[in-house]
Amino acid sequence: MTGFKHIPFDRVSWITTSFLSLTLLLALTAAPAYLIIYGMGGFMAGLFAFYLIATGLSITLGYHRLFAHLSFGAKWPVRMFVLLFGAAAWENSVLDWVSDHRRHHKHVDHDDDPYNINNGFFFAHMGWLLFKLNPEPPMDNVNDLRKDKWVLWQHRNVHWIALFMGFILPAVLCGLYYGSWSAALGGFLVVGVLRTVIVQHATFCINSACHYFGKQPYSTRHSARDSWWIAFITYGEGYHNYHHEFQHDYRNGVKPWQFDPTKWTIWLLSKFGLTYNLRRVSEAKILLAELTEARRRMDSGLAVIKNSDLTEAARARLHSSVEYLHMKQEELATLYYQVQKGVSERMEFSKSRVRLWRREIQQSLSHLEQMVSRYREVMTA
Ligand SMILES: [Zn+2]
Ligand SMILES: [Zn+2]
């Protein structure tokens, strides 16, 4: 029981802690029990799906890409939808959420990062919510959003809006549709509580799993990582390495085949004039980031090979492969300067050219990986 001594009980945020524990408990016990006893009719299933998408997207599209990063503009129906259904996700107000998130980007992996992954997976996931900071950091990074009177209205009334939109409304709708109190209970437990817990933990995964699992094709200066399977449970936010590198891009999954329903929704809404000024980073700039990272990996891979303790015979055997890698290293450097020049002169490269270069980068890196593993084999033989 010595572990409890280290918990700062005086700083525990009891309301948040109780809410997160109680909803999780209900989602794991009462909600499945309800579904076993009463089942789920078509209307309730439809409402559950609608709420899952509406509240999830309000966080990723609204709180995150619209309000925190201003990566596009949106007309009032979109903003209003996000304020109402975002509150129903029970992740606090836009102002609170954005303030934390902008600090996360500014101080990522350092003490002032509110969900710093270096404090452990659980801390980044939800542990940070369980304790109050002393003193609370000033919310001086959201002054641009204070100009919006509806954002301020949501901030002042967020718990009432959340209670009504998140719990009461689904209960009333299910109760009226099926004409029974048990259906109202189902609306509350399944569409309200269970859905809240799923959306919350999906969002929490962006702060924990996305800084823990996956690849870093754009930068290793921070812990953010790209992983396709997290994108599936986070409405496309799994491409977090790209996002930390280019936070003002409305896309997180920047490649056409990457699963990013948030990006697709923003794009689709722009076709109806509901969103506008979608910000995109140029292909050349993205390629330059990939090249920087590829060169860094190439250099450190070659350093491993150079510093390894090999016999003369083994070294001679692997000589031509190393020569080949040096050639690739030079090719990457030349390409880097070519692209860098393109970026500074604001040149747009053709899609086929970028595709060709990207293939060259990938080939060089896979050669490097093969070589490093061959070296390891020779060294352990
Ligand atoms: Zn992050
Ligand atoms: Zn972000």
- pTM of the entire structure? 0.89
Which residues lie across from 32 on neighbouring strands? none
Q: Which ligand is nearest to the CA of 238?
A: 1
Q: What is the DSSP string of 123-147?
A: HHHTGGGSB--SSPPP-TT-TTGGG
- What is the SS3 assignment for 273? coil
- The burial of 117, by beta-carbon neighbours within 10 Å (0-12 exposed, 13-18 middle, 19 or more buried), is given as buried
What pLDDT does residue 381 have?
67
pLDDT tens, residue by residue, 223-273: 999 999 999 999 999 999 999 999 999 999 999 889 999 999 999 999 999
Sequence ranges of the domains in the chain: 2-276, 283-380
Ligand number with the minimum distance to the CA of 214: 1
pLDDT at 103: 96
> Rounded to the nearest whole angstrom, what is the distance from the C-alpha of residue 87 to the centroid of ligand 2?
18
Instruction: State the CB neighbour count (10 A cutoff) for residue 70.
Output: 16
Distance (Å) from CA 139 to ligand 2 centroid? 17
What single-letter DSSP state applies at residue 253? S
- Ligand having the closest approach to the CA of 222: 1
First to last CA, the chain: 48
- Ligand 1: distance of its center to the CA of 150 in Å? 27
Among all chains, which residue has been given the structure tokens 């003490």?
Answer: 111
Q: What is the pLDDT of residue 147?
A: 96
Q: How many of the other CB atoms lie within 10 Å of CB of 160? A: 11
The identity of residue 289, as a single letter, is A
210 CA distance to ligand 1 middle (Å): 7
CA of 31 to the centre of ligand 2 (A): 32
Query: Which helix (H) or strand (E) segment is 156 a member of?
Result: helix 149-162
Q: According to the model, what pLDDT value does residue 339 have?
A: 83
CA of 158 to the centre of ligand 2 (A): 22
Q: Nearest to residue 27, comparing CAs of 232, 182, 207, 188?
A: 188
Say how many Å lie between the CA of residue 192 and the centre of ligand 1.
27
The ligand placed nearest to the CA atom of residue 109 is: 1
pLDDT for res 5: 64
How much distance in Å is there from the Cα of 376 to the middle of ligand 2? 38
The whole-number mean pLDDT for each consecutive block of 10 residues of the chain, a chain of 381 residues, reads 64 91 96 95 97 97 98 98 98 96 96 93 93 84 96 97 98 96 96 97 95 94 94 96 96 94 98 97 88 85 76 75 81 84 82 85 85 77 67
